[in-house]
Amino acid sequence: MEEDDLNPAGKPLYRLYFKGLVTEEKEMLLAGFGVAICGDKDDLLFDLKVSIHDPTITLLEVELIALKSGLNQAVSLGINHISICCDHEYIFELVSFPWLTRICFNLIINVFP
């Protein structure tokens, strides 16, 4: 699929990148995520890095929180068409199938307020 095929009716193509991290160091759980929104010329429009202090959090939860944060910021910037770029296989599958997208986003909104 060509990049131009993803560009709806000549509108700018925005990209949402996000990455979560959960690691254990010195018997302590460290978690956090990063979010970036880029414009159609790969210009950085938004950047966020957040630490999470929850010893029970999972990588999937961190990734979903990052996705929600990015989508919320995209909406506040007035962006209504965006490509979602991630490397978490389960989230990729959820956002890649149109019939699952609405279910996925309702789940994210309801589970991670």
How would residue 90 be classed by pLDDT, with cut points 50, 70 and 90? confident
CB proximity list for 25: less than 8 A, separation 6 or greater: none
Q: Full-prediction pTM beyond 0.85? A: no
Cα–Cα dist 37/84, whole Å: 9
C-alpha dihedral, 15 to 96 to 71 to 57, nearest 10°: -120
- pLDDT of 8 strictly over 90: no
On whether the CB atoms of residues 46 and 35 are closer than 8 A, the answer is yes
Share of the chain above pLDDT 90, in %: 41
Confidence (pLDDT) at 9: 60
